[in-house]
Structure 1
């Protein structure tokens, strides 16, 4: 498990916090909170195989979750950051956060109409400071992590222009985040959507229009 996550196992540091104790405590947390079944932390030692069942009811919540695919995990694990404070954990956390809070339209019997797409574009929008406060990081780190995730092809972003409120004060507007691909379950297989089924460029277009309309209602006016 430790090696699969691209870390080097270390079993010889006593009670000091190391990669082994961190993984053991993580597994124990999953067990104590009902995400896995049949785990004994006393048996989590070198060269000892232990099998645990996954509680699927816990692992498949109805909302506020994001799925990370194997290729996304591999892409982030291969990335070597020249900026040392930016580690893989921050990248995983930000990508999970974006996916968890991206709007998802409910299925319609006749497909999604243009009206429903415009009313609820499948985007996530926020500001670096707000994201940082939510996940316990700082603005600079979120900005750098956003840049890296986009370079890796895992997200696309669009910064909305500054706007002026009714009192003639200028403000920085939100950044739109969007996933450039989508996978769905079809015939018991996970397959990537075609461009006809999911077009991120069109979703982004609807997202920009949505935010502009929202700010117009709030008497905000964009900088040209």
Structure 2
């Protein structure tokens, strides 16, 4: 949500996570980092903003905000080597976080967008935002009644414009990124119908985002939940009901 930074902040964060040593140190040069993130390290000297300056600004922000220790912005040049200590309290928080799985990272990294403004970093940014703000009832898959599932379905809901404002993008880009993530099988979506307010004015309502799979720790192994343990179609059904039940509070009157 540091929306003043370039979208590559999520790609840079992934690099730090994947490349840390047992001593919580990360080694990097700009060219290696950019290539690892599946970008071409084209340094256009005549432009104020290029792939180097974008990654550099992200790394400088991580340094200024305590995610990494020891970073020299002036040495972030081509093949110049640096090492930084990672602040694990920042990088591995105990609560309020979303998880990206390895296969999700690999899926996005393999994607080649025909629409040039839409890059891998934007897809990571949107997926991370969805994961971070999706309701999670608990880390366990059992012990929930149908009533508790209906009261808090595991969904995220918002509008393209709102998401864009929070993460520093635009509505069109979020709409395209949503479409791609769904094509890649990483999310499912449902658009709530238009609604009329108490003044008889029509509005576009929220879009529901939902993850089509869930993983849990079982017998010291991370395994995918069975359909009995997690059914995204049921979560979506309960999510639609939940939003419809807000009619009285929000004074929304949906189309039939």
TM-score of the aligned structures, taking structure 1 as reference length: 0.84
User: Would you say how many aligned residue pairs link Structure 1 and Structure 2?
Assistant: 224
Q: Distance in 1 between matches of 2:193 and 2:243?
A: 11
Contact 2:142/2:229, CA 8 A, preserved across alignment: no
- 1:164 and 1:42 mapped to 2: Cα distance? 55
What's the CA shift string for 1:123-158, capped at 9, x where partnerless? Answer: 011111111222222222211111111111111000
Question: Relative to 1, partners in 2 of residues 1:55 and 1:71: Cα closer, same or farther, differing over 3 Å?
Answer: same
Give the unaligned 5+ runs of structure 1. Answer: none
Output the aligned Cα RMSD.
2.8
Listed one character per residue, the Cα deviations across residues 45-65 of structure 1 (whole Å, up to 9, x for unaligned) are: 555654444322112335543
Matched, 1:85 2:117: yes
- Deviation of 1:12 after TM superposition, in Å, equals 8.9
Task: Return the alpha-carbon distance in structure 2 between the equivalents of residues 164 and 63 of structure 1.
Answer: 38
* Secondary structure of 1:117's aligned partner: helix
- Preserved contact between residue 134 and residue 155 of structure 2 (Cα < 8 Å): yes
Cα gap change, 1:9 to 1:87, in 2 (>3 Å): closer
Q: CA deviation at 1:171?
A: 2.0
CA change 1:10–1:166 in 2 (3 A) is closer
Matches within 5 A, 1:1-224: 1-10=33-42, 13=45, 18-41=50-73, 44=76, 50-106=82-138, 111-224=143-256
Sort the Cα spacing of 1:46 and 1:170 in 2 relative to 1 into closer, same or farther, 3 A. Answer: closer
Deviation at 1:10, TM superposition (A): 4.8
Deviations 1:163-204 (A, max 9, x none): 223333322211100011122333443332222222111110
**Cα distance in 1 for residues equivalent to 2:255 and 2:222:** 43
Alpha-carbon spacing, 1:186–1:28, altered in 2? closer, same or farther (3 Å)? farther
CA contact (8 A) 2:216 2:222 kept: yes
Distance in 2, matches of 1:142 and 1:197, equals: 31
Q: So what's the TM-score if we normalise by structure 2?
A: 0.75
Instruction: Quote the offset at 1:104 in angstroms.
Output: 1.2
Could you tell me which runs of 5 or more consecutive residues in structure 2 were left unpaired when the two chains were aligned: 1-32
- Return closer, same or farther for 1:42/1:146 CA change in 2, 3 Å cut-off: same
Q: What is the alpha-carbon distance in structure 2 between the residues aligned to residue 198 and residue 78 of structure 1?
A: 27
RCO comparison, higher one (Cα < 8 Å, 6+): 2
Which range moved further: 12-21 or 109-118?
12-21
